[in-house]
Amino acid sequence: MRDVTTIDRVPDYIAKAVVDPQAYAEFDSLHAKLADLRRDHPFARADLDGYDPFWIASKYSDIQEISRQSDLFKCGTYFIGSREELELEYTSGKASQERVLSNMNAPEHMKYRLLTQNWFQPKSVRSMEEAIRGIARRHVDHMASLGGECDFYHSVAVHYPLRVILSILGLEEDAEPFMMRLTQIVTNIDDPDLTGEPAPKTPEERA
């Protein structure tokens, strides 16, 4: 990672795209902005009105270096959001509810990782290659049967990875609906359609 002697600043038009979910629906426009970021501001700080400052590392080498320094770069301690969103994140208890592996740090991270690590080692996955290819073929055949047009997310992408993981874990496909619901609740814990509880919109509502 390069030494930072002066702080490079991410242009607002790029920073706004990074924090705006709707920008990710404009594929070409977003990637043009990210290309500008990698070329001109590969490791820089974003300072947007309404947001606490945050850094963006966009080069592979920098990201690799950061991932090797887990004692310095902690997981799950911060997310990019407006100050109002950050306040609600912590006052609603959501931050402590989302205890997923990617948000954990040592030594807790390794304890949870070791529970299933062996099942996902290259040797273990290779032993299941034919079964995984079979799952892939079924999904491709299903997509081909939809008449040349489909909602790829709902028809394929949301199901295929989960079925592969269930297969690796030794679970039958009939466990998919239950595991899908658990996955959706964990990743969308403030969605009342999934949790059955209205999501608080303000810290006052939570109180």
Q: 10-residue block means of pLDDT along the chain (207 residues)?
A: 74 96 94 97 94 93 93 77 68 61 86 90 92 96 93 92 92 92 75 60 50
**pLDDT at residue 84, rounded to an integer:** 74
Q: Work out the angle between the directed axes of helices 12-19 and 27-40 (0-180°, nearest 10).
A: 130
**Residue 182 Cα distances to 17, 42, 61, 136, 149, angstroms:** 30, 37, 35, 23, 29
**pLDDT at residue 95, rounded to an integer:** 54
Torsion of CA 13, 17, 22, 27, to 10 degrees: 100
**pLDDT at residue 120, rounded to an integer:** 87
Strand, helix or coil at 46? strand
CB burial of 28-56 (b: ≥16 within 10 Å; e: otherwise) equals: eebeebeebbeeebbbbebebeebeebeb
* Amino acid present at 85: E
- Please state whether 67 falls in left (phi above 0), alpha (psi between -120 and 50) or beta: alpha
Residues near 28 by Cβ (< 8 Å), separated by ≥ 6? none
**pLDDT at residue 207, rounded to an integer:** 45
**pLDDT at residue 203, rounded to an integer:** 47
